[in-house]
Structure formats: C-alpha cells, structure tokens
A and B are shown apart, each in its own frame.
Chain A
C-alpha cells in the first residue's frame, strides 16, 4: 500500500497526510505535512497542536527557529496500516515557513519519520510505502 500525493504549494513541495490521536481520546486530527528529507526531527508541528496530542513530554531541542518542545504522540497513516508512538516537536516558526508555501501545510516530517517507510518521487508526485513487520 502507498500514499501518493502530487506536489503542492509555491514553491512546490512534497507532502503527506498523517493522523494524530488526541491525548484525551476524544478523536483524531488529520494534517498535511511537508516532507523534508533532510529534516533532523521526525515531526515538526505547532505547539498548540502538540499540546492536544501529547501523551508524554520528551526532550527539548535548541534550534535556529527557537526552542522545540518534544512530545510522544500517536501517529497513524491508516491506509498504509502504520501506527506508532513517535516524538514530535512543537516549533511554530517551522509551521509558519511551511504555511508560506501552502496554507494546507501544518508542519513537516523529517528523516527519522521517513526511515519507517520506503519513499520516493518523480516529476509530479511523492509517494510513501509501508510494509508492516510484526
């Protein structure tokens, strides 16, 4: 199974849709995140979203965009059968940079996230493939 998305935004960006589970169990939130293949953090989102989905605090990172607060969150891509606890970092300025490309974008995923998948792109689309290993 794969998720395949045409590039979007100005400049054009690869992106994926992921689902986060709210920490209070009241539902799920779907977000579109830019794919940053050189990104050092698994997930960067804004702090207000992070607080809604935080299961437990993780580490703090000093970045060139300011302090990033890490939190363990549930991440899913249901159509690929992917569901995992990962550390996402709250960093509002990165989200602002993503939104400058397209208002649908709510953050980014980086290499630690992409390592869970096979991924690639051509001149039109970016794709993500996942094989569940029990």
Chain B
C-alpha cells in the first residue's frame, strides 16, 4: 500500500488556533463591520464572533474582560481601517 504523501497537519497552540479563528472571522465580517459601525469604532471578537464594540480602546478592553475566558483568545480591530492580509517587507 502506498503511503500518503500528505504530511500530518502541524498542531497549532490553543493561542494561535484562536487567533486564526478570530482572524478568519474578522475578514469574513469586515464588509458588515465597515457598513454597520462608525469609522474608527473598536470591535472585539471572541471565538470568531463580534461580542462587543466601543468608541475607544480602553472601554472595549474593559468590556472584553467581562466576556472572555482568556485575553489572548480575543481580537480587537477597528471599523473602516484598511488592514493588509498580505504584506511585503523590503527590510534586509
């Protein structure tokens, strides 16, 4: 029997796994976020869902403390900001 050429998937740490979940959700939700929230509004995601928003970072930070189980399993982004999914660094 021929062995599969596929390498076993590398297991991500829970922290990085949570980051991927939130990052994917953010990009999926970005059109909705930009249409729904005022520009610059801070948006909090946990487990791939929008759970809170606020006009300033500190207020959102405090709101998220009441919701999340682990700080590093959350994500904060701003509505209306052009983030880069892919970037080229020329330093070197």
Contact = CB atoms under 8 A, between A and B. Distances in A.
Given A54-B72, A56-B74, A57-B72, A85 B57 contact: yes
Using C-beta atoms within 8 Å of the partner chain, give the interface range for chain B.
20 to 34
Interface of B: 16, 19-20, 22-23, 26, 57, 61, 64, 71-72, 74-77, 83-92
Nearest to B23: A60
A57 B22 contact: yes
Contacts of B83: 59
Interface string A34-49: 1010111100100000
B30 to A, nearest CB: 10
Chain B interface helix/strand/loop/mixed: mixed
A41 B72 contact: no
B91 A59 contact: no
Give the size category of A's interface with B: 20 to 34
Given A40-B84, A69-B19, A58 B91 contact: no
A122 interface: no
B21 to A, nearest CB: 11
B89 A44 contact: yes
B91 A61 contact: no
A62 B90 contact: no
A26 interface: no
Contacts of A16: none
